[in-house]
Structure formats: structure tokens, C-alpha cells
Structure 1
């Protein structure tokens, strides 16, 4: 809060100085119309001062926004870490202090495992976001069967969320399609997208994944569509930014604001691109990913 007040003070100061500079320059010009050379020099200096003030104001506005995003991120991470830890502690204290029936004990164990998984995912996201900024990070590049990898990610998502097998419907190509990349990173990206599709959908979840080649046959297109709460049009281009979380009570869900940033970073690192589409709140979301295919393709069916 103190940092934000300081930034606002300097923002107001910059605007005030800009107004004062304009007033002084206009008055100075009116009094020195005959001094053409001095007038030109004055205009140049005036332009330099205004430019500096504008750049200063832009910098302060960006710092304010960045500070707000960092604060929101810290609050989200604190919640994501504290909540499962408190839940696990409560279950353990109950098990230690009371004689819990075996059925209830098994229920407690399942709840603690779920909280542990949530805690682990949060830590992994934070670590992954940090690793993506490392310039010398090592990659294990191989030819990855993208259809098989996405099928594994879908099976993992269904198992972790205890969903019906028909919740995620896959439409795979007739032959294997290979991309050159790090299999673990790509698995992380698609698992994050499928987790989001589950998390931002209601009880009647319907998620589809379609894999195909583009018209030229040089890229593979992966389209992930859900029937969830959707994304406002004003947020479509910002959801991939680090720490960004969609505003609005109905749209807020558990998370750190890093998931889609990690997805975009991984896809772009593999020479691909990702795009989000939605007809608005309540109309579901569609994520389209394009990745370059390798020259090797298995034509055996």
C-alpha cells in the first residue's frame, strides 16, 4: 500500500509539472515572438521536457500495474499454499485426537491426498514459471507423438479429478503426428489446459480435443473446447500474461495466474502459437494450438 501511494504521488507530480511546463512555455512564447532562434531552442527544450515527463508517467503507470499484479499473485499463492496445509493439519489433528471409524478414516486420507496434490501442483507451477526465464535451461529434444502425449494428459486429468471417461472426448488423426520438442514440457502445457477446462466448467463438463494437420500439412492443430463459464472478450489477449487473473466474482477460481503464462511460453518455445476464443461469459472457451511438424511421420496405422 505504501509503495502504491508513493507511485501515485509521483504520477500526480508528473502531471502537474507537465501542466506547469505548458503554461510557462506558452507565456514565454507570447513574450518572445521576435526572438526566433531562442524560440526554436526553447521549443526543442520544451519538447524534451514534455517527452521526459510523459515517459516518467508511463513508467509509473506500468509500475503501479505491475505492483498490483505482484500483490494479487502473492495473495493467490498464499491462499493456494495455506488452504491445503490447513486442511491437512485439521485432518491429522482429528485422526490423532479422536477414534475415527475406518470408512471415515479412508475419506480423510483421500481428502489429504487431494490437498497434497493441489499443494504440489502449486509449487510445480511456481518452479516451472521460474525455469522458463532461465536462458541456459537444458532441453531434452525428441520426436514426440503429439496424439499419444495428449491422450496421456487427458487420462491423467480424468484420473486426478475423478471424472467419467467420456468427459474428455479425443478426436485423433489416423496416423501418428510428431513434433520436435521436450515431451515433459509439452505434457505440462496440455495438462494445464485440460485442468483449466475442468476447473472452469460446471458439473456437466463436456470437453473435446481435436488434433489435425493444417492445409499445407506442415503444422499440427490442436483445438481444446469446453462448455464452461467462458472468457470476456476484453480478457482474451491478457489471459496469457504472467500473474493475470480474470476479474469478476463468477470467473474467479483457484489458481496463481501462472498456468496460461506457462502454456504460452512452452508453446512459443517450441515454435508454435496459441490463441483463445470465447463468445463471452457462459459460452465456453476454445484454445487453438499450432505446432510445427517434424519431417518424420509414422504412416503405419
Structure 2
């Protein structure tokens, strides 16, 4: 029993123990609580009643295991200055699992040797089965009422759901009717479109055939015109220089020079036009071989004199010797020659000429760039620079330029499956021409 006395009640432990010894053999459930409502003793039957262990009882406050009404009653009794014994009262205990136990309980004050109330002895005379049954019945009635209320709520929700479903069904039916009407319209439209497509396909086939015929006729015309123009120009290019050698009059020699320059320009224009026509033709194809790009550039550069118009020409070939591409050697040399010649021709009025040729590899393509420090270009010139017969400005309008060189370069690069473009910071700040070429298959293997 001593193990059930709480530490904070040790000053009155003897009195409480004396009371406990008196009632130890009574066949009732007994427990004692101090003035703070802490349980300091409980008989073994209390453990069974509340389904707790002795150690748990030792830490329980009685007010925490009673329902609200019983807790208020016990609190009032403990707070009385001179408590008196009480007849049996209905006290309802709450177990840990929430179950409520109705009991008939008497209160007996515990008086110390100084005649002071130091606690209360509770004697449970028995369980009030009738009250317990009433509580259970009340709980079942409350549960039934809640269930009925929940059922009513469910029925109301079901009715609202049924109404909503009917509305949704009506809306779906209406939408289905609209969709059926739309489907009929779409089917009719599809049939009309199918008819139009068939008619368009026939017209496209007819126009394509007509265009192919026109292109073939154009190619034949250009070729015939080129030959017809070259035929009379050939004797002129041969005879005019001979006439110049036999002429001593400076005025006549000057006029012959003008004639020779114009004839040469016409011959170049015809040759370039024929070349461009051939490159535009779908029947024209190039022969691609494995080519070392460094060697191709060096061969083109070696044909250029180191001094032009009293200007020193410095060309840096920064391409690695191992870079192997697939290209038509003659065609690529023409592209390189054209771009290098333009860089020299359209250099700054004064100062030397510096050209940098470089290349790097991205994915399966080599990107070649030719950078100069010449006249540069504005945005409008960059946009039109590859157009046929386009000359960027008045400085390029001379008999040395046909306006077809860059167009021919563009067609050659496109025949290789690449692309070509130009960039410039602005007028007087130089230009960079770049183009792509396929890498050799050997490198991939």
C-alpha cells in the first residue's frame, strides 16, 4: 500500500494509511484522493474497474477520469472547508477507451490528527447498471438520431445528384444533337475539300509539267544564246589586241583598250551566265571526293601575287592540315578564288591587305571563314549580296565585276549540301564570308 502513496502527500501519509487499513478488507471498491484530487490509494478492484495498472493509478488525478458533471461534484466536495460524509451519489467514470461507467459512490472525508481535512475517501458501493443501461440506451438513441440525420442528408444529396444528372443528361443529349449536325457539316465540307484537293493536284501537276518545260526551254535558250554571243566575241578578243599592236597613235590605242575591256567583260558575262544556268539546272551534279582543305587553299593563294596595286597582300591560312572534307576540288577552288579575289579587289583605298582564312568543325560539317579588313557592308547590302547581278555600291560597278560571282559561289556550296553567308560590323570595318562543307566519311569511320 505504501507504494501507492504519492510523494507530495508524505506529510499526511500516516493518516491516509490508517484510513486505508481500516477499509482494506471491505468488499467494495475504494480509493483515496488528497486535497489536490490526486489519487493516493486504490483497492485492487479499482484497477479492474478502470482497466489500469497500479503504477498508472499512482499518477492519476480523479478529476481527469470523471465525466463533466461528476468532476464538478467531486471538485465542490474537495473544496469544502469542513467536508462531511455523503450518501451515495451517481458518479460516472471514463475509462481510457472512452467507455463510461456509472457507479453509486459515497464520500468520507479523511481527517488528520490536527482535525483538518486532508483528502477524501471514495467508496464505490456498486455499479449502477440501470443508469449504465440508460446511458447506453441514450448513446444508442443519439447514435441512431445521428444516423437518421446522416441518412436524410444523404437522401437530400442523392436527390440533388439525381437532378444534376438529369440536367447533365439533357445537356449531353443536346450537345450530341449539335455534334451530329456539326459532323454532317464537316463530312460535307470534307467531301468538298477532297474534290478541291484532287482538282488542285491536277492543276499542280499540269503547272509543274509546264514549269519543267519552260525551265528546259530556258536552259536551252541560255545555252544557245551563250554560244551565239561567244561566237562573234571570239574573233574580237583575238583581233583587237593585234590591231592594238599595229597602232602607233596613242588616241587610237586608248580607244582599242576600251573596246578590248568591253569585249572581255561581255565574254566573262556570257561565261558566267552559262555557268550559273548550269548550276541552277537540276541535272547538274558535282563529283565529291576526299579533299585536304589546307592544300586547296594554299593552291589558290599561291596563284595570287604578293603585291597588288602597290599594296602588300598578306593571306593567313590557319586551317589545319588534317582537315579532310568531301568536295568537288575544281568547284571549291573557284569559290575560294572568288572570295579571296573580292577581298583583295574591295580593300580599303590605302594600306596593306590582310586576309585570314580559318575553319572549324561542328557536328559533321566544316565551317570555313574568309575574313578581310576591307570596305565592309551595311545591313541592306548583306541582305542582297548573293542576289544575281547585284553590285553593292558604285565602287563595285566596273567592267571587272559581272555581279554573278557570289551567286555562283552560293549555287556551288548548295550543290555540296552546305550554305553560305556574309557578316560585317559595318562600312569600312571589313567583312567575313562563311560557308559549310561536309566532312569526309573516312573521318567518321
TM-score normalised to structure 1 length: 0.56
Match of 2:297 in 1: 150
Which residue, 362, 380, 384 being the options, matches 1:238?
384
Change (3 A) 1:117 1:183: farther
Aligned partner (choices 374, 394, 397) of residue 228 of structure 1: 374
Shift of 1:127: 2.4
Given the superposition, is the C-alpha separation of residues 297 and 86 from structure 1 closer, same or farther in structure 2, using an over 3 Å criterion? same
Q: Deviations over 1:97-140 (max 9, x none)?
A: 4499xxxxxxxxxxx99999877654442221121122212432
CA distance in 2, matches of 1:119, 1:184: 23
Aligned partner of 2:246 in structure 1 is 96
5+ long unaligned stretches in structure 1: 1-77, 101-111
Offset at 1:188?
1.1
1:17-56 correspondence runs (5 A): none
Q: How far off its partner does 1:263 sit?
A: 0.7
C-alpha distance in 1, partners of 2:425/2:368? 19
Hey, what's the Cα distance between the residues in 2 that align with 1:99 and 1:221? 54
Q: Which has the larger radius of gyration?
A: 2
Spell out, residue by residue over 1:199-236, the C-alpha distance to the aligned partner (whole angstroms, 9 max, x if none): 111353423233332354x3212111112111111121
| Corresponding residue for residue 249 of structure 1 | 394
Please tell me whether residue 195 in structure 1 is matched to residue 345 in structure 2. no
Q: Report the structure, 1 or 2, having the larger strand content.
A: 2
**Cα distance, 1:142–1:276 mapped onto 2, change above 3 Å:** same
Q: Are the equivalent residues in 2 in contact too, given 1:243–1:257 (CA < 8 A)? A: yes
**Matches of 1:134 and 1:97, distance apart in 2:** 45
| Aligned alpha-carbon RMSD (Å) | 3.9
Out of 254, 266, 272, the residue aligned to residue 125 of structure 1 is 272
Change over 3 Å in CA distance of 1:229–1:166 after alignment to 2: closer
Q: What is the CA–CA distance in structure 2 between the aligned matches of 1:159 and 1:141, rounded to whole Å?
A: 31
Q: Greater RCO between the two (CA within 8 Å, min separation 6)?
A: 1
Q: Which residue of 1 aligns with 2:428?
A: 282
Question: Which TM-score applies when normalising by structure 2?
Answer: 0.40
Q: Distance in 1 between matches of 2:304 and 2:265?
A: 13
C-alpha deviation, 1:144, in angstroms: 1.6
Q: Distance in 2 between matches of 1:187 and 1:140?
A: 14
Q: Which piece of structure 1 moves more, 114-123 or 134-143?
A: 114-123
| 1:267–1:273 contact (8 Å) kept in structure 2 | yes
Q: Distance in 2 between matches of 1:163 and 1:154?
A: 18
